[in-house]
Each structure stands twice: as structure tokens, then as C-alpha cells.
Chains A and B, each alone.
Chain A
Amino acid sequence: MKSINLKDNQFIQFHQKISFKFDGVKYFGYKGDTIASALLRNNINLVGRSFKYHRPRGIYTCGIEEPNALVQIISEYSEPNTRATIKKIYEGMEIESQNRWPSLENDFGSINNLFSPIFTAGFYYKTFMGPHKKFWKNLYEPLIRRAAGLGKPPKDFKGISNHIHHNVDITIIGGGINGLLAAKSFINSNYDVLLIDFEEQLGGIINNSNKISSIDNKEPKDWLKETIQEIEDSKNIKILKNTLVTTYNYINHLIAIEDRFVGSKPIEGKVNSTLHKIRTGHTILCNGHIERFLSFQNNDLPGIMLSSSFEKYMCRYGLAPSKEPVIFSNNSNSNSLVYSLIKAGLKPKAYIDSRSGEEIEPNLFDLIRKNDVPLYTNSQIKGAFGNKKIEKILVEDSSGALNEIKCDCLCLSGGINPDVHLFTQSKGLLDWDEKDLTYKPSKPFQPTITLGSASGQFNFDNLNSDINEKLKTFKVKKLDVKLELNTNAKYNIEKLWEVSPQKKSLWAKSFIDLQNDVTTKDIRQAITEGFDRIEHLKRYTTNSMGTDQGKISSINALGIVSDLLDKKVNEVGTTIYRPPYAPLSFSAIAGRNCYEFYDPERKSPIHNWHLKNGAIFEDVGQWKRPWYFQINKDESMHDAVQRESKNVRENAGILDGSTLGKIEIKGEDALEFMNLIYTNSFTKMKQGSARYALMLGEDGMVKDDGIICKISDQHFIATTTTGGAATVLGCMEEYAQTEWPNLKVFMNSITEQYATFNISGPKTREIMKKAFPNINFSNEEFPFMTFQFHEFNGVPIRILRASFTGELGYEIYIPSNSAPKIWDNIQSVGKEFGLAPYGTEAMHLLRAEKGYIIVGQDTDGSITPIDLGLSWMIGKSKKDFLGKRSLTRSDTIREDRKQLVGIIPSNKTDKLEEGQHIILDKEIKSPVPMLGHITSCYYSPTLGHDFALAVIKNGHSMIGTKAYASTSSMGTTGVDIVKPVFYDEGNKRLVS
């Protein structure tokens, strides 16, 4: 196909040449060209290979609906599947064709076309079932799946995007003639209006076709310029260009993506797309219509294109892709292409219409006659033929005779559809129009207004009255626009979905979905195999499941199916239109919420000290906690944890516990509230004492634990687990508001206000005495599970004597700002006693030796306090607390519940692992009855062997017996089931 430039064009700057590379070869286009128009200008028609059969494909359309011309933009992070028909070229752009090897001209994969009779609908479903598992790995995955596809995924992350929120009264989608007229009505009104258009220039069909000859007795272009100026001058209207609305959510919430670098290379580090999130009172859809194609043999050959697209290339891009295209139509929409061609001094090679002579518009007849264009009425194209491009077509004329016409370009028009995608996303209902043969918007579900062809008004005769009527509620001034047309025809269409091929052959293909290589034969086969519901048929054949969502073909498929099933199209229904309207990149959705901004990082006030002292961090919720400290770079995690644990048992260790959740509870009824929230009873507890407490869900399962300090009956401070802090506060607030609103109680998180240091080990008392000389730390003055308020160097501190390691321990609570100073002081005075920091891993090891549980590790939401052997913590005399009644449910009093036990290997040198199953037999003979699993497992430097905590069925009664721990890879290990305490069972070290 040989193209010619039409230099009388306002959009293409013919004086500004731009060079770009396609598959490594340098070409020239002009400023304003899309990749597609530039390629057509260089007479390149073959631009890609198809998804399944690797058939040669060309440029089919001139817009967002493009199914074929998808390319990889090498110069932009190798962005794949870019529509060549909308992406503008810029100097130095590098483009590659997709799904071909070794080259586009000679593609090895095109051999698939030979085997195509077996690659029919449901091929994957049927083939990938068997015959053997190995086929998947060795044949299907590497060979067959690799052969199918589109572009290659990019290696790098695409550039940055940002998000902008809008809150407006009215959003007009589409800046064509209806959109502009709607916007014009709102000029200088009290409404905030957003006008969104996908193109760089507003105007729609005024720019894309020669349909309109004058508006208000002016040249359309002049009228357009004036109108845009008026709208731009209006203070209440904002225009977003290069912006595509992709999503229409509930409550008029729209999502639109704006390309910030149209026609230029995105600058690294700059925002290259903006995601607009729009909340609007009313949405006015003026997003126009999309032309559909027709199915006949080889309707996918390069050189075949939609007729309105051909016209758009002429009007919008100053380019006639061919000097003498053949036109094949079943409707009046292609009239204006004939007009445009003749106006440009060109002539269609032939005009073929499936309608009879009487139905064809008289003025089209005149035009065709006057210019001696061969006319075939009542005729159909039986097929197109050629090698990698269209060379000839076969036309069956009204007499049934076959005519061969040589041509290099064929323009198709199968009718037009309102672009109902957004309307149906908004949950509006469609209705089939039997006259215009298309689905049209009928009942909106939201405050949605449709105007122009988007509403199914394909003629212009009601333009004024339609807009005036639909915008009546806004009480804006009425329009009275005079519109003259070049082809004053009423939209007229004859039903035609598919022309059957001349010769029956297994290899004859009439495509219904170009992008996914679905043929009309596949549709027939699917129906034969029972997939006659349209949603099933779509998934089975993959029809309209490509990135183009079958924009030019899905209605044709409905037509064919309705004929096959002998049903009305309305009864067949449509598949659901889901967002997005067109693909948008993940980086646009992510916006700035990526990398370090993905989730907040929370750091303790001592974080910088940890950094300087070799801390390796672990993530606990959003917190960064020291996992262990390396004394040198070669120290392994195991060595560090063993060293830290041993040091706590022999000398003393210090842990940064600032991340523990801290909640302050105050109020007249605080005591009663705490009694209701936790299992324990706090009534008899002395002021200044502390208690380990459990919180349950209403189902009786352990949800959180912590230490409760009672300052008075009206004032408590509770600690929570690091990860559970927000949930516990949320739960307290919920019950305070919803169940016990009569209680006078308030609660607040003080997690970040206080740093917490946990010091423990036999030498702790000496260190504390030295660090806080004004405080008496004797066992009599400061017994276990009590706390005291003090002042140290003017800083108010609270010290709690408690321990999570089993050693003598103190927790110091310090206002965060003063914490680093006191931490440093403790480090320096502790040096002579061998004080060393320890991380969360050593803490886990030490607490496990004592059998202290970690909620979420040793429990999983199905464990009650009784299962943990913590019945002593339940305030049985209390009338009520969260989950109390559930502790006597039939399920919670079951005997064979999983219960917490200790596990040690029978042979002390054997290793255990977290997650291992506990079973009764040494030999694994499936099915193996599983008793439970190991929840925590460590090597103890104090005991000198592995030990573990586990939850196993009926565990408490199994203590003292033997079992096996197993994993499929390690075999079985003999274990002893013991009490879940491995160290200082009498708590002597804790309390003395």
C-alpha cells in the first residue's frame, strides 16, 4: 500500500522532520505523527505478528480501539503492547515489533498457521491436561506457551506517576462536538466543570472527518477555535487533555490517566503520567462511538483498515494510507470517506455495499456516479488474499457472480456502536436497537447523562433539543446551533456480521477477534461444545479478552451468536464491561506509594544507636526492630543469638522494647472496664503493682497479651504486643462505645510517647543501682511485678520490675526525647558488668526457655488460655469479660484440643525445626494422623541442645510420653513431650 501526504493539514507540522527507529531501521515522520501514521507514511504495513498463529498484521484503526498494531517502545523502559495508533513519535524513539522470531518478515512461529486446525477454541484447556505431569514443564510451558503472546515484559519499573484528586460538580468526558456544546452551556455558570479529552486537540469528529460542513455558518475549524477559546476563558471550566477516563466507579467516582509527555521522550525522574481521581456530581458522557469491522476470509491481512480510521488519517494526520482503497460497507457511515477521498483528489478503486441500490443514500449514489467509481450493490467480499499484504479481493455481486479486484487497501465499515464501556461500568443498562443494530444506553444507574453518538444518536438533527432537554436540570442557557453536513444522510445499516468463505477449508480463517486470534469457526465450535452462554463463550474462546477488549468486534460476535442460537441479540446479552477502559500501567496506579513510601517505617528513639552498633533489623509490623547485633562482620546470626542469650543468663542484657504497644486507660470506671476487657481480675490488685494479662476474642481465643500496671482504680497502663497495638486499642474503643457506653472511661495510645528498655540478667540489680543511684532496688523495696515513678535528671521515668527472659529484670519507661541519653548512660555503667544489647531473636529464645508464649507464633487464633495451661489467669469469679462464655462452649471444653507442650529431642544431638509435625509413628505411612506442630524451636546455649514449643492434640495428658517430629525431607526424629518450661521452673531467678 502506497501512501501519499496531504499537506493541507493543521495538525502535522510538515516542516519538522522527526527520525525514529522501527526494528532497528531509521525512518522519518513529522511532528504530530503517531507511530502508526509515521509507519504508514513510510509505506510500512506489516507491523506485528498475531498472538496465536503468528499471522502478519498491519494497522487496522486510528485510535484506542487498535487490536493489531501493538509495539514495544524500547526507548521508554521497554514498555510493551503500546498502541501504535495513539502513541506519538519523538526524535530518537526506538520501537520494536512484537511476537516474532527471528524477524518480523520471516517469523518462525508462523508455522503455527499450518497447524492452526488443531489450535482451536479450548486448545489449552484440552491439551494442557495431560498425558503426563512432565509435559507441562518440558513441552507446554517452554514451547507452546512461549510461542503465544504479545510484548515482552519490561525489565525496569516504568517512570514515576502522581495522583491528583478533583471534586467537581460536572465532568464532561469527551471533547467532541457534543462535549464542547455541553461545556459551552456551562460557561460562567456556578458549576465547577471538568472537560476531559483523550486527544491533544479538542474537536472529535470535526478534526477526524469531513462530516460537518459548517457550524453556525462558520467553517467548522473556525467555530472550533472560537468555542475552545470561550471555554478556556471561562473560570469555572478546567480542561484536561491527553487524559483517558478508564474507570467509572460508584458514586460518580472517575479515574483518568493523563500522559504528561505526548510527543516527547519522558524525562527520567519527572512525573510522566498523572492519575486523576475525580469525584463529580454529574457525569456527562460524550465519548462518541467506535466503528466495527466485518468478518470474511483473511479479514486480518495488512492493508485492511476501518473506513473511519482511513478518513481520520486523512483529516487528522494529513495522510492517505492508499491512493485508491476499496471500500466495503453495510451502512451509511462510510459515506464521508468517499466524500473525503474525492475532495482530496483521490478516488476509491471500488465501492462495495451489502445494501441494495434503493437503500444507499442518493447523494452517495450521485457522488459515486459522477466520479466513475465502480459500484457493487447487494454485494459482499468473500475473501481477501495476498502474501503478507492485501493484493486482491473476491467480490460476490448481486447476481452471484465472483469478481476479482486487485487492490492494496481495503476499508471496512460494519456499523458503529456507541462507546458504552463507561456507561455500563457505571451500572447503566443497555438496550438493543434493532434498527441501528447496536446496544445503546438506556437507563442510567447514577447521575449520568449521555449525549451525541455516545447515547446512540447517530444523526445530528436533534442536536440542540437533545442537549437542551438533558441539561434542563442545570438551568443553563439553551443552545441554538446551526449545523450543516456534507453527507446529509440518516444513519442506515443492513444486518451483516459475517461473509462465509468461497471454498470450505480447514485453513480458511475469518477473524472475530484480531488480537486474540479468535475465528468465527471458534465461536461455532464453542457453541457446539455447549458454551452457548455469552460469558462462557467469551472465556472459552478468549473472544474480546485482549488488551483492546474487542472494541471493534465484540458486538459482531453477539450478532453471530444470536444468529447461531436463533435468539434475539437482547436475549444473548452482552458480557460485562469492566474497568479499565484501556490498559493503564501499574506505576500509574501505584503513584508515589512505592519503595520507601509504600508503607511507613516506624523506628524507635534508639534506632540510630542500633545502626552504629551492628544491628541487623527485622520488620515487626511497620517497626524496624534489632533482630540481633553483630560484634563483627563475620559473626553469623546463630553465633550472635547464642552469644546474646548466654550473656543475658550469665551477666545482663538490654533490649529496646520501645515498639511494644502502650495504652493509657483513665476514667471513673476504668477498673470495671479493664475487668471486662481482660481475663484477669484487677479488683484486688494493689496500686503500684502489675499483672500479666490476656485478652480474648468473643470466641474465647487468645487475641493479645501484655502487662497491666495499676496506678489506681481510675488509671491503668496496658502494654500490648508490638503488632497488636492498634487492634487492641481499636477493640477497647469499640467496646467502650458500643457495648458499655455507660462506663466513664477513656483510652489513648502512648506507644510513641515512651521508649522502653528491658534490662535483664543476674547482674541487672547492680547495673540499675549504678545507673539510678537515687532508687532502692532491693527485693523488699522493689518486688517482682511492681512499678515505681521516679525522676532522673529532671526526666520523669517509670520502672517496672518484670521479665520476659526468666532472669531478674526491669523495664524502664522514658519519654522518647530523653531516651537516647539514658540509654547511653546505662550502656556505659553496664560495661563493667558485661551488659550487652540483645535483639528480638535472643529474646524469643530466652522466653521460649521459660515457656512464655508469643501471641501469633505459639497461638493462631484457635487457642484458648486453657489450651496454653494459663487457666490461673482467668478471673473465674468475674461475671463477665470478653469471651468468658466461650470458654465453656462445647468446642472449647473438648478433650482433644491442641494444647501447648514442650518438646525435646530424645537424642539430644538431634535437630528440630519450626513447623515440623508431631506424629506417633516412626515410619511415615500415609495417611499419617497429625497431632499438631512445632510453633517455636531454638538451640539453647544453656541446655546445650534443641528444644521446642508445640501445640498438639490432647497435649497436656501426653506430657511424659514419646512421639516423633517429622518433615517430608528430614524423616522422623524421636522426641520427648515435656512441660513447656525448660529453665528455672520455680521462678527463683525472677523473684529474688
Chain B
Amino acid sequence: MLIINCPYCGPRDQSEFSNGGEAHVKRPDGSKEIGDREWGEYVFIRANPKGLFYERWVHTHGCRKWFNCVRDTSTDEILVTYKLDEKKPNLNNFKSVVKTPSGEPEVGSGNFTVEK
């Protein structure tokens, strides 16, 4: 289980939070004409990278505030959490972190426990 640092409450157990999928997905402006593709991408298409990922979480069993974070999807490490109105951090700032637990290839599940 992860420990997630709520920007309002501090570090709390993962069980208090709910995941809200990819962050920084802009909702198209309803007052303007929206094309099928643009709307379809907003509703249905989300990124699913292996590695660093901007993600939304909500402190459901806490302050009920939404916030954003950068999570490494291959290690589950949450590198930073920040409020919705804060600028999104540059992913290049996090290059120094271990990318995968077991030096796995960039694509694939990588069931490796032995050092390659």
C-alpha cells in the first residue's frame, strides 16, 4: 500500500484516496463548436505510459479535495503531489529516479527478480 502526500492534509494511507485517472486533460469549452474527434478524445482517450505519469487523486476519506501528482507507473512511486492550481512539474526534473524495480525492459510486464 502506498503512502500519498495530500497537499492539504499531509502523508496518509492509500486507502483514504481514490484515483481519478490522467491529470491535465482539458475539457473542451462548451460555448464553442467542438469537433467529434476533439470531444471523443476528451471523453474516451487517456494516456497509459509505463513510467512517469501526471495523475489525479482525491482524498475521499479525508478532506475530499482533488489534487494532482506525478507517479511512476512502473514502480508506483509517487514523486510529487501538488494542488490543482499549481503549475505542472517538468518530468525532466525526475530523471534521476530508478525507472523500474528490476531493470525491466521499457515495454512489457517484466517478471524479473534476477539481475541482468
A residues adjacent to B (C-beta < 8 A): 249-251, 253, 279, 424, 427, 429-432, 439, 442-443, 445, 535, 570, 573-574, 576-577, 698-699, 730, 733-734, 737-739, 741, 879-881, 884-886, 889-890
6 closest cross-chain pairs (CB), A and B: A880-B30, A427-B101, A429-B115, A879-B31, A737-B66, A885-B39
Query: Chain A residue with minimal CB distance to B4?
Result: A251
With contacts A427-B101, A443-B115 taken as known, whether A249 is within 8 angstroms of B1 at the C-beta atoms is: yes
Please tell me which one of the listed residues A427, A429, A733 contacts residue B64 in the complex, with CB atoms under 8 A apart. A733
Q: Which residue of B lies closest to A570 (CB)?
A: B114
Known: A279-B3, A573-B113, A889-B39. A741 touches B102 (CB 8 A): no
Q: Identify the closest chain B residue to A442 (Cβ).
A: B115
- Closest chain-A Cβ to B73's Cβ sits at a distance in Å of 13
Complex CA distance for A251 and B101, rounded to whole angstroms: 12
Residue contact B43 to A698, C-beta cutoff 8 Å: yes
Verify if B112 is at the interface (C-beta below 8 Å from A).
Answer: yes
Give the contacting residue for B103; candidates A253, A429, A879; CB below 8 A. A429
Number of A-B contacts (CB under 8 A): 77
Which residues in A have their C-beta under 8 angstroms from that of B2? 250-251
Within 8 Å of chain A (Cβ to Cβ): is B93?
no
Bound Cα distance A442, B101 (Å): 13
Assembly CA distance A886 to B42 (angstroms): 11
Taking CB atoms, residues of chain A closer than 8 Å to B115 are 429-431, 442-443
In the complex with contacts A429-B102, A741-B85, A879-B31, A886-B114 CB distance below 8 A: no
* B3:A573 contact, CB within 8 angstroms: no
Indicate if B79 sits at the interface (CB-CB under 8 A).
Answer: no
| Other A-B pairs beyond A250-B1, A741-B85, A889-B40, 7, CB < 8 Å | A253-B1, A427-B101, A429-B115, A445-B101, A573-B113, A879-B30, A889-B39
Determine if B30 and A886 form an interchain contact, defined as CB atoms under 8 angstroms apart: no
- Taking the nearest CB of chain B, how far is it from the CB of A948, in angstroms? 32
Instruction: State whether B30 touches A885 (Cβ < 8 A).
Output: yes
Specify which chain A residues have a CB less than 8 angstroms from the CB of B36 in the assembled complex: 889-890
Contacts of A249 in B (CB 8 A): 1
**Cβ contact within 8 Å between A739 and B27:** yes
Using Cβ atoms and an 8 Å threshold, which residues of chain B touch A570? 114
Q: Check A738/B66 contact, CB under 8 A, given A427-B102, A431-B114.
A: yes
Is B88 engaged at the interface, CB distance under 8 Å to the other chain?
no
Question: Roughly how many angstroms separate A889 CA and B85 CA in the complex, as a whole number?
Answer: 31
Give the Cβ gap from A499 to chain B, nearest Cβ, in Å.
Answer: 27
Docked complex: B95-114 residues within 8 A CB-CB of A: 98, 101-103, 111-114
B31, B42, B66, B114: the one within 8 Å of A439 (CB): B114
Q: Are B66 and A576 in contact (CB under 8 A)?
A: no
Residues of A within 8 A of B65 (CB): 737
Residue of chain B at shortest CB distance from A572: B114
Kindly state the separation between the CA atoms of A74 and B101 in the bound complex, as whole angstroms.
Answer: 44
In chain B, residues 19-61, which have Cβ atoms closer than 8 Å to a Cβ of chain A?
20, 27-31, 34, 36, 39-40, 42-44, 56, 58, 60
Contact yes or no, A430 B114, CB < 8 A? yes
* A contact residues around B28 at 8 Å (CB): 885
- Asked if B84 CB lies within 8 Å of chain A CBs, one says yes
- A431, B112: Cα distance in complex, Å: 11
| Chain A contacts for B85, CB-based, 8 A | 741
Report A-chain residues with C-beta under 8 Å of the C-beta of B16.
none
**B112: chain A residues within 8 A (beta carbon):** 429, 573
> How far, in whole Å, are A886 and B44 apart by their CA atoms in the complex?
11
What per-residue 1/0 map shows which CB atoms of B65-107 lie under 8 Å from chain A?
1100000000010000000110000000000001001110000
Q: Identify which of B34, B84, B98 contacts A445 (C-beta below 8 A).
A: B98
Shortest distance from the beta carbon of A532 to any chain B beta carbon, whole Å: 16
Inter-chain contacts of A253 with B (CB < 8 A): 1
**CB pair A250 B111 closer than 8 Å:** no
List residues of chain B with CB within 8 A of the CB of A886.
39, 43
**Minimal beta-carbon separation of A535 from chain B (angstroms):** 6
C-alpha spacing A570/B114, complex, angstroms: 7
Q: How far is the CB of A126 from chain B (nearest CB, A)?
A: 26
Chain A residues within 8 Å of B76, by CB? 250
With A432-B114, A573-B114, A741-B84 known as contacts, the answer to whether A734 contacts B43 (CB < 8 A) is: no
What chain B residues lie within 8 Å of A251 (beta carbons)? 1-3
A424 CA / B113 CA spacing, docked (Å): 7
Q: Which residues of B contact A884 (CB under 8 A)?
A: 30
Contacts of B42 on A, CB cut-off 8 Å? Answer: 698
Q: How far is the CA of A712 from the CA of B51 in the complex (A)?
A: 49
For B101, list chain A residues within 8 Å (CB). Answer: 427, 445
CB distance from B21 to the nearest CB of A (A): 11
A-B contact pairs, 16 of them (CB 8 A): A279-B3, A424-B113, A429-B115, A430-B113, A431-B114, A570-B114, A573-B114, A730-B58, A733-B64, A737-B66, A880-B30, A880-B31, A885-B30, A886-B43, A889-B36, A889-B39
Q: Which residues of B lie under 8 Å from residue A733 when comparing CB positions?
A: 64, 66
Q: Which residues of B lie under 8 Å from residue A738 when comparing CB positions?
A: 56, 66, 84
Q: Identify the closest chain B residue to A735 (Cβ).
A: B27
Q: How far is the CA of A473 from the CA of B114 in the complex (A)?
A: 27
How far is B58's CA from A427's CA once the two chains are assembled, in angstroms? 28
Known: A251-B1, A889-B36. A574 touches B113 (CB 8 A): yes
* Residue in chain A with minimal CB distance to B31: A879
The complex places the Cα of A432 from the Cα of B39 at a distance, in Å, of 53
Complex: chain B residue closest to A576, CB-CB = B111
CA distance A737 to B43 in the complex (A): 18
Point out the residues of chain A lying under 8 angstroms from B64, CB to CB: 733
* 8 Å CB contact of B111 from A442, A535, A890: A535
Taken together as a complex, chains A and B put the C-alpha atoms of A443 and B85 apart, in Å, by 39
How far, in whole Å, are A466 and B33 apart by their CA atoms in the complex?
Answer: 69
Alpha-carbon separation in the docked complex, A369 to B116 (Å): 46
Complex interface: chain B residues within 8 A of A881 (CB): 30
Interface centre among B42, B65, B66 (most CB of A within 10 A): B66
Determine whether the beta carbon of A429 is less than 8 Å from that of B3: no
| Nearest chain B residue, comparing its CB with the CB of A698 | B43
Q: Give the most central of B27, B28, B84: most A CB within 10 Å.
A: B27
Q: How far is the CA of A253 from the CA of B1 in the complex (A)?
A: 7
Q: Which residues of B contact A432 (CB under 8 A)?
A: 114
Docked CA distance A698–B34 (Å): 14
**How distant is A570 from chain B, measured CB to nearest CB, in Å?**
6
Interchain CA distance A890-B98 in the complex, whole Å: 45
Contact of A734 among B40, B58, B98 (CB under 8 A): B58
C-alpha gap A443/B112 in the complex (Å)? 13
A699 to B101, CA, bound (A): 37
**A424 CA to B43 CA, complexed, in Å:** 40
Shortest CB-to-CB span from A681 to chain B, Å, is 14
The minimal Cβ–Cβ distance linking B12 to chain A, given in whole angstroms, is 11
- Between B28, B29, B101, the greatest number of chain A beta carbons within 10 A of the residue's beta carbon is seen for B101
Contact at A885–B20, with CB atoms within 8 Å?
no
The CA of A576 and the CA of B111, in the complex, are separated in Å by: 7
Is the pair B66, A429 in contact by a Cβ cutoff of 8 Å? no
- Roughly how many angstroms separate A176 CA and B65 CA in the complex, as a whole number? 47
B66: which A residues are within 8 A, CB to CB? 733-734, 737-738
| CA distance in complex: A30, B83 (Å) | 64
The answer to whether A737 touches B84, judged by C-beta atoms less than 8 angstroms apart, is: yes
Alpha-carbon distance between A737 and B57 when the two chains are bound, in angstroms: 12
Residues of chain A with a CB closer than 8 A to B34's CB: 885
B24 to chain A, nearest CB (A): 10
| Alpha-carbon separation in the docked complex, A361 to B63 (Å) | 67
